[in-house]
Structure 1
Amino acid sequence: SLKLYKNLAEEIGCDIEYENVGSLVCSVDEKQYPDMKKHFQNKQAEGINVRLIEGQQLRKLEPTLGEDIIVGVEEWDSWMVNPFKVNYGFAYAARKLGTEFLFSSQVKKIERDKERVVSVVTDREKIKTRFLVNAAGAWASEIGEMLGLTIPVRARRGQIIITEPVPVNERWRYILDADYLITAFDLAAIEKSKDPRIKLGVAGSYIQEKSGNWTIGSSRDFAGYDNRVTIQTLKHMAKRATKFMPKLKDISCIRTFAGLRPFCYGDGLPILSKTKNPQNFVIATGHAGKGMTLAPITGKLIAELITESRTSLSIDAFSFSRFKNIN
């Protein structure tokens, strides 16, 4: 996906604010020190340019970091895009190539003839189809049900705080709380925890945009399709943020919002696959919090799957057939 992002702005004719930024994964918990060291070693083994830095040295490099931070892993092979510009850029380029968007159209029914989908019925019209791609995100399971398929994806809410713009931090514009690695991937640890913050999936993810605004996240909880923010979660997020960066106490919040991630409760991995029946039904969902990261490569692989019946990278690990026990 990173390789595709490098030339994406030129390809779609839109500045997506793609840039190399420094990132820092850090911890305020002494018990996590061995895990941080392992994280560092794993990154090194992957050939990524990283450095393990003790808390005192971190604060010399960036005095605004909190006193409670004990260790951090610095990485310079980190890249950032503006997600809104990526979305609009893709839509703009697709429209130029003949794509038609039907906004505010609800799918009511999917019609099939034996082992193939033949049309999609919306609240406005019937659309004949040669292939049908289910990229409905957190709603992918509802589309699957129309064909008698159980797609193990459910909505996982995430809440965000946006601050006023402030001068850009030149060293690290992406700071990640080590707890994020737990709340994002380890459901068992969340269920066992007695900490209300962990129960809500709150762990620090702090990104300073090119505009100077800080995007403060994040949270992960299952609340159906409720995409409202909650005061309780926002309080936990704000308190956690000021533990890592006390300077945020003096910065104003200008807005908050929530969104729904498509989380695959089967095994936490995306689903990128054709189905055996219907034969022309393709699933592309379950990316959870990696949707923007994996968007370009997902689009490329799904296009290859439809047009060539094979892919340039193996997607066997993401096959829908791995859920035989529920279908």
Structure 2
Amino acid sequence: MPRSVPESASVVVIGGGVIGTSIAFHLARAGVPDVVLVERDELAEGSTSKAAGGVRASFSDPANVALGLRGLEAYSTFASDHRQEIDFRRDGYLYLLSDQDSVDVFTESTAVQNHYGVPSRMITPEAAQRLSPLVATDGLLAAAWSPDDAKATPEAVVQGYARSARRLGARIIRHCAVQSIERDGRAIRGVTTSLGTIRTENVVCAAGAWSALIGDMLGVRIPVQPVRRQIAFTEPVPGTPRHTPLTIDFPSSFYFHAEGRGMLVGWSDPAQPAGFDLDFSLGTWLEGLGEIAAVRAPALLEAGIVSGWAGLYEVTPDHTQIIDRSEEVEGLLIATGFSGHGFLMGPAAGEIIRDLFLGRTPRYDISAFTLSRFRDSADRPRETNII
């Protein structure tokens, strides 16, 4: 492991999760020399290692559908492209709908997805139960089924991207914390780390939940807040197929899927305050999850909790990612605020930042991902993608 940093770099990528390593790989593959990625801990140590691993194109907005499709495509060939097995499985996404508004939204969204080649469809509660046998159909009106959506192992993806980036000449330096970024007027002059200073005119902020701190070093406001999200793993649940789809009770955000010999279960507690709390604490979280599971998947209550973890979502006010070139500081590129979708959007995010760095027009519509959209909004949440 390098214990020093190079004197200079064409670009410094800050953050060693899936977004940062994808960016480093895509820049290096495009021929950008002297790409340096710095990570304050181990690679994938932050939000990436705590992700559930879902990869989907079942979004309501065409721009996000495109990013999700690219993630599915890239991960389907990742093992051969990067010599790294990632346990990619197309087990599908299943959304459970128990109110008419949700049914209407998903009916419209599946039509959008179908237009872009996603084979999602509306199905009956009984059909949903056949796909995911733990589902209790009481109160369900319908479900949305997206069979081509998938799961993969986030840490393995990071290792694959990092290995490929190194083969192409990028330097990846772990245990290297960014302490300050030197700015001269609108220009970047260097990045000072715990291992020394790197002269550079270009920085990519891919620091996830810590992105606002990087922005503060440059006087650029990046409106990203960390919010704790927890995942638990259960004992085996008899009669559960190994390839149970990722099943989401849409009104509550409770979800589960097969993982190892048991089940992965999660729930986004709406009362969770923003902050860097990473303590895994069952308590009220498990009580809330249990109340939902008792209605939607009661058999899960018979399985004990084996382990779990807490991670951080990097949340923007409108729950939509920022992928942009700064208008305030020359040489600053930003890829953050994915609000729980960073893993699946990693491949496309790397391509977009590569193109922005090289002065190309990305092949994706990124007009909704600009940092400037928050400039005059006082961070008031906008009308956002519902899924």
Q: Is the 8 A contact 2:179 2:193 kept in 1?
A: yes
**Aligned pairs, how many?**
300
1:213 corresponds to 2:262: yes
Residue 57 of structure 1: CA displacement?
5.2
Distance 1:7 1:244 in 2: 35
1:273-312 matched pairs, under 5 angstroms: 273-312=324-363
1:126 paired residue number: 197
1:256 corresponds to 2:308: yes
Supply the AA of the counterpart residue of 2:295. Answer: K
1:320 paired residue number: 371
**Aligned residue among 173, 176, 179 for 2:245:** 173
Q: Is the 8 A contact 2:132 2:245 kept in 1?
A: no
Q: Is the 8 A contact 1:159 1:234 kept in 2?
A: no
1:268 paired residue number: 319
Could you say which structure has the higher helix fraction? 1
1:1-327 matched pairs, under 5 angstroms: 1=70, 2-27=72-97, 29=98, 32-47=99-114, 48-56=118-126, 58-59=128-129, 63-70=133-140, 71-165=142-236, 169=241, 172-180=244-252, 203-209=253-259, 211-220=260-269, 221-230=272-281, 231-265=283-317, 267-325=318-376
User: Are the structure 2 counterparts of residues 56 and 21 from structure 1 closer, same or farther at C-alpha, using a change threshold of 3 Å?
Assistant: closer
Residue 108 of structure 1: CA displacement?
1.4
Residue 218 of structure 1: CA displacement?
2.1
SS at match of 1:64: coil
Residue 85 of structure 1: CA displacement?
1.5
User: Are the structure 2 counterparts of residues 126 and 165 from structure 1 closer, same or farther at C-alpha, using a change threshold of 3 Å?
Assistant: farther
User: Are the structure 2 counterparts of residues 11 and 308 from structure 1 closer, same or farther at C-alpha, using a change threshold of 3 Å?
Assistant: farther
Distance 2:349 2:371 in 1: 15
Greater mean deviation of Cα atoms: 254-263 or 237-246: 237-246
Normalising by structure 2, we get a TM-score of: 0.71
Higher relative contact order (CA 8 A, sep 6+): 2
Instruction: Provide the identity percentage.
Output: 27
- Give unmatched runs, 5+ long, in structure 1: 181-202
Q: Is the 8 A contact 1:37 1:52 kept in 2?
A: no
RMSD: 2.4
Distance 1:137 1:107 in 2: 14
Greater mean deviation of Cα atoms: 291-300 or 218-227: 218-227
Q: Which runs of 4+ in 1 moved over 6 A?
A: none
Normalising by structure 1, we get a TM-score of: 0.83
Q: Is the 8 A contact 2:254 2:292 kept in 1?
A: yes
Supply the AA of the counterpart residue of 2:335. Answer: A
Distance 2:83 2:130 in 1: 41
- Give unmatched runs, 5+ long, in structure 2: 1-69, 380-387
Alpha-carbon deviations, 1:234-264, whole Å to 9, x = none?
2212332343222222323211111111111
Distance 1:141 1:85 in 2: 27
